[in-house]
Amino acid sequence: MENFLQYTILGLVTGGVFGIAAAGLVVTYTTSGIFNFAHGAIAMLAAFAYWQVRFDWGWPAPLALLAVLGIAAPVLGALLYGVVMRGLRGTSEVTRIVVPVSVMLGFLALATWIWDPTPPTPRLFLLFFGADKTVSIAGVNITWHELLALVLAAVIALALRFFFFRTRNGVAMRAVVDDPDLLELNAGRPERLAMLSWALGAFLAALAGILITPIQGTAMSATALTLLVIDAFAAAMFGRLRSLPRTFLGALVLGLAGSYVIGYFPADRWTWTGNFRVSLPMIALFVVLLFLPQDRLRGTTILRTRERFRLPSVRSAAVAGLALVGVMFLLREILAPTAVNSLAFSMTAAIIALSLVLLTGYAGEINLAVLSFGAIGAIIVHHYGVSGSGGGARTTLWGYMLAAVVCAVVGALVALPSLRLRGLYLALSTLAFGVFVSNMVLREITVRKLPLLHTEFSIFPSGNLTVPRPKIGPLDLAAMPTFLMAVTVLFSVIGVGLVALRHSSYGRRLTALKDSPAASATLGQSPVALKLSVFMLSAAIAGVGGALMTSQLGSANLDRYDIFLSLSLLMLTVVGGIGYVSGALFGGILFGVAFVALQNTFDKLGADFPDAEGFFEFLARFTTVLPALMGVSIGRNPTGAVEQIVVEFGALRRAKPVVVAGCAAVAVAYLLARNDGISNWWFVVIVGVVIVAMPLTAKRLAPPAAAAAPADGQGDVPLELVGVARPFEPADRDMLDRELGLPVGGR
Amino acid sequence: MALLEARDVTVRFGGKAALDQTSIDVAPGRITGLIGPNGAGKTTLFNVVCGLLTPQGGRVVLDGTDVTRAPPHRRARLGLARTFQRLELFTSLTVRDNIRVGGDIRNRWSTRRADSTDEAERIIELTGLGSFADREVSEIPTGRARVVELARALMTRPSVLLLDEPAAGQTERETEEFGALLRRLAADGLAVCLVEHDMTLVMDVCETINVLDYGRTIAAGPPTQVRNDPAVMDAYLGTPEGVG
């Protein structure tokens, strides 16, 4: 009985802290319509910042609390809204999910940069009032800290209730949710209120982070802390991201359930108990999704999203695919084996990214855990797709096909509960799935006797999954250069296939569903059936890609399928251009080589120039944050980098000599590299410079034709809109005069 | 015999009744008008009929089948099609593909399949959208975009067509052509329900007009009768004494 009480109190305490965090999430979501995936990262940053000032610098607790909770956290929240999130109005749901995810990844990178993840001495984060201050309730000792957490949770629940129903700002915040435009007409200021809510949300996240860290009692880890408050997502889902009382209730239920699992599951017999406890909130999230009522089908509230993807023809896609294979063949000849290695890895990542182009770019749905599907694919190939043994072991085509089928089925199971709901919920289910796979499936490293089947089986044997290179018919891909060519060809084939798919009636139906679910349904399209089919197809591609990625590596531990890596790959693909096959290539290469290469370069430069070592070390560290910064920039340019590159290179069409000169320069560099005249690094640098210089020179030589456009007619701009998108010029006035039959230039 | 019947439909948003036991009948071969001041509940009624909104009371019967609880795509498969007042075009597709996709979707559920490309060309010609066919939908004028919505709806070969303010943004001449097109469609047996503020068009093409105000039907009948109904004048113009 005493134990039960002990577990209950422990559960209530963690539940209360989850509740505080979840309340912050609900507050920001309801007022700004943006689900703050960075919420956990804010809690994590706050915990580290508090540790810094309180325990490292030895500030007194009240001062430290004031600095972190009173100033730093609210300011961070307000800035986050003002600088990043506010710009997301009028963007698609995909952008509104990827940008906060990027912020989260950025905060993680920042924390790793500032606070060494493996400190010489473990960081001590003490309980408030110390561990010896306890009170005894019915024979159970609880620390003052735990009592404080409980009291704070209750106070905050009541205070928020009071704030939202009794104060002017609170009532206005509820109004923002209902109708921001109407509120603005009634002299409310939705922007300011949204900023206020983000400050409040960050404060609550920070408070939860500071309270939970010492209760956990383990060494401070940035990723663990970030994921811990992700558990608050599940609690918020109990309240359908709206109701605060239900959110708190959900948090308490989750806290208690977790506590009882630890307390009463026979951990020595059920070795998965600890993993189960960690996955519990995500499992709960999944279950809650099953019971959420169906969303009303909404149309697009915005007439034009800012994302515009041009569709290449199948023929030009095929030409580009062939060109890619050709370039890869030439590169393979001159690159060092390590470079071929990482390029092959990048291409497998690009194949996984293709699954995102299909799902997100074409159908507008989101998968936050592609690499978890990759892990499933790799597991299947490991168990059922290997023939031969030792050095002669190869994976079979059959294994990859089976991986595709299994991943499609798993994808269906993951997606089904949330397909009838909004895209955000599908994103959250995949996140739950990803955390579940990382915590439970990939930690199944011991051999178990399967009941009934009488066979022994281990899902992820000894924590290290070996997947040999494939052998398809007579084609042995054991050697890395051959493997690189094979995955490049496969990427091109799938890529061209996707473009063809997008041109088919299936592709048009996907686009229709993405652009307006309401209109698509009123034409007779069942949204669930279509979403399910595309999710399964995408999961199958991700599974094959993941198996190939593992095959490229030879073997992989569970860190290779980490949820944060899935998020990075998604982010980088969106940075590249989620609507384009080339965006997947861009994302895969950034994911696989670009940042590592950049970091290595800076490290090398730092070693070569000791005087500037500090500067280069800074640059090297900076590259860890760089991807996230690029991700955040999606808010400004949601169509992605590839689109911009294409536009930039459009200038080359009118400057043939520049193209010829550029190609000649690259050819010379290639020949030099081939004959070992220059190293790989120099080759990359020269090609990089040429690529950047070509459009710039072309623009200087041939003045842009855009300036001439308004003069030779109004283009596609209707008369009444001339000079709205760009400054109104005298030429426009003359043109209008002409069109209206007035004397040109006459006043 | 009505092809589409909505009976005693009630919808409340919070405490406010947007529709209060409203009924409407739409018969084949006829154009039924649905008019009323802004906020009268016309679009809400459309949303209930096509399944985007579940009513708190009442029922919707389509071709003899009670579809009150059916999802939108089921109703579409029973022959219901609509256009939207706030345009719901597929912005990533060209005008032609916007229309074509209607046929693509129908081919998935209809047993009578037809090549969506040919069908789209036929509908484009019928609706006079030829010169816009290869444009992006975000580039064309609102009035034309509304015709694209009509064309897209026709691709499903509907038996009941709901049009939500199709003439808004159209020029006078375009509206005239549009009215003629509607008459032709009705003459082919289509049941049309028209929500519209352009009274010339409504009075011109509708056989029956239902007038909504504050979610209630305040008048129903042929144009001549509705035009002179005191309750309608009251709703549209305010009381005779009040308007000075």
User: What tens digit of pLDDT does each residue of B23-60 get?
Assistant: 999 999 999 999 998 888 999 999 999 999 899 999 99
Q: Which residue of A has its CA nearest to B108?
A: A525
**Lookup: tokens for A123:** 């960081």
Strands A475-476 and B191-195: unpaired
Same domain, B170 and B52: yes
Residues in chain A: 747
**Which residue, B157, B176, B205, sits at the end of a domain?**
B157
Looking at residue A632, what is its pLDDT?
83
> Looking at residue A713, what is its pLDDT?
42
CB A381 within 8 A of CB A548: no
User: Both B123 and B203 in a single domain?
Assistant: no
- Confidence (pLDDT) at A461: 82
Strands A465-466 and A471-472: unpaired
Using a CB-CB cut-off of 8 Å, the residues of chain A touching B116 are 505
pLDDT score recorded for residue A208: 93
Residue A459 pLDDT greater than 90, yes or no = no
Q: Is A519 on the interface with B (CB under 8 A)?
A: yes
Work out the percent of chain A whose per-residue pLDDT is above 70.
Answer: 92
CATH number at residue B66: 3.40.50.300
Contact between B158 and B150 (Cβ < 8 Å) = no
Distance from CA of B209 to the nearest CA of A (A): 24
Q: Is A169 helix (H, G, I), strand (E, B) or coil?
A: helix
Please tell me the pTM assigned to this model.
0.88
Domain that holds residue B153: 80-157
At which residue do the structure tokens 């269906």 appear?
A412
Which chain A residues are closer than 8 Å to B101 by Cβ? 505, 508-509, 511-512, 523
Contacts of A506 in chain B (CB under 8 A): 104
> What's residue A271's pLDDT?
72
| pLDDT band per the 50, 70, 90 thresholds, residue A605 | confident
CA atoms within 13 A on the CB side of A174: 14
* Residue partners of B75: CB distance under 8 A and separation at least 6: A522, B49, B50, B51, B62, B67
Same domain membership, residue B232 and residue B130: no
* Cβ-nearest to A511 among B51, B86, B93: B93
Q: What is the pLDDT of residue A287?
A: 84
The CA distance from A65 to A71, in Å, is 9
Domain limit, last residue, from B157, B172, B199: B157
Residue B3 sits in the same domain as residue B28: yes
**Per-residue confidence (pLDDT) for residue A307, from 0 to 100:** 65
Do B94 and B71 share a structural domain? no
At residue A639, the 3 state secondary structure works out as coil
Q: What is the DSSP letter of A36?
A: -
Alpha carbon A675 to chain centroid distance?
42
B128/B62 same-domain check: no
Chain B interface includes A531 (CB < 8 A) = no
Decide if A520 touches B, using CB distance below 8 A.
yes
User: Quick check: B101 contacting A, CB < 8 Å?
Assistant: yes
A313 in reach of chain B (CB within 8 A): no
Mean pLDDT of chain B: 91
Rounded to the nearest 5 percent, the helix, strand and coil shares of chain A are 75, 5, 25
Distance, in Å, from the CA atom of A711 to the CA atom of B199, rounded to the nearest integer, reads 41
Structure confidence at residue B244 as a pLDDT band (50, 70, 90): very low
In a shared domain, residues B104 and B195: no
Q: Residue holding tokens 């047993």? A: B111
Alpha-carbon gap: A530 to the closest alpha carbon of chain B (Å): 11
- Measured between beta carbons, the chain B residues lying within 8 angstroms of A511 are 90, 92-93, 97, 101
Q: Check if the beta carbon of residue A140 is closer than 8 Å to that of residue A5.
A: yes
pLDDT at A347 over 90: yes
- Asked if A521 lies within 8 A of B71 by C-beta distance, the reply is yes
Q: Which of A358-367, A386-395, A454-463, B88-97 has the lowest mean pLDDT?
A: A454-463
Residues within 8 A of A (CB atoms), B 75-94 only: 75-77, 80-82, 84, 86-93
Q: Which residue of A has its CA nearest to B153?
A: A523
CB pairs under 8 A between A and B: 106
Do B122 and B233 belong to one domain?
no
pLDDT digits (tens, 9 = 90+) for A359-383: 999 999 999 999 999 999 999 999 9
When the pLDDT of each residue in chain A is averaged and rounded to a whole number, the result is: 85
Nearest residue of B to residue A517, measured between CA atoms: B88
Shortest alpha-carbon distance between residue A394 and chain B (Å): 42
What is the pLDDT, as a whole number, of residue A303? 44
A727 has a chain B CB within 8 A of its CB: no
Q: Do residues A352 and A537 lie in contact, with contact meaning Cβ atoms separated by under 8 Å?
A: no
Q: Which ranges constitute the DSSP H helices of A217-296?
A: 222-238, 244-264, 273-291
Q: Are residues B64 and B173 in the same domain?
A: yes
Residues recorded for chain B: 244
The answer to whether A401 faces chain B, any CB pair under 8 Å, is: no
Q: Is the pLDDT of residue A604 over 80?
A: no
Delineate the domains of chain A, giving CATH numbers in brackets.
2-108+140-281 (no CATH), 314-621 (1.10.3470), 712-740 (no CATH)
Which one of B123, B157, B191 terminates a domain? B157
Cβ–Cβ gap A515/B80 under 8 Å: no
How many helices (H) and strands (E) in chain B?
A: 9, 10
Query: Measured between CB atoms, which of A299, A508, A526 is closest to B73?
Result: A526
Residue A710 has a pLDDT of 44
Helix A581-589 to helix A563-576 angle (10° resolution) is 130
pLDDT tens digits for range A688-710: 888 888 888 887 776 555 444 44
Instruction: Say yes or no: B73 contacts chain A, CB-CB below 8 A.
Output: yes
Q: Which of B52, B82, B84 shows the shortest C-beta gap to A296?
A: B52
Judgement on whether residues B125 and B185 belong to the same structural domain of the protein: no
* Neighboring chain A residues of B106 at a CB cutoff of 8 Å: 523-524
* Residue B91 sits in the same domain as residue B63: no
Mean pLDDT, to the nearest integer, of A502-529?
94
Which of B90, B97, B99, B171 best probes binding to A when mutated, by most A CB atoms within 10 angstroms?
B90
The total domain count for chain B is 2
Angstrom distances, CA of residue A458 to CA of A439, A455, A551: 15, 10, 19
Q: Are residues B209 and B173 in the same domain?
A: yes
Under the banding of pLDDT at 50, 70 and 90, the label for residue A530 is: very high
- A617-673 confidence digits (pLDDT tens): 888 778 888 888 888 888 777 788 888 888 888 878 778 888 899 899 999 999 988
Q: Which amino acid is at A179?
A: D
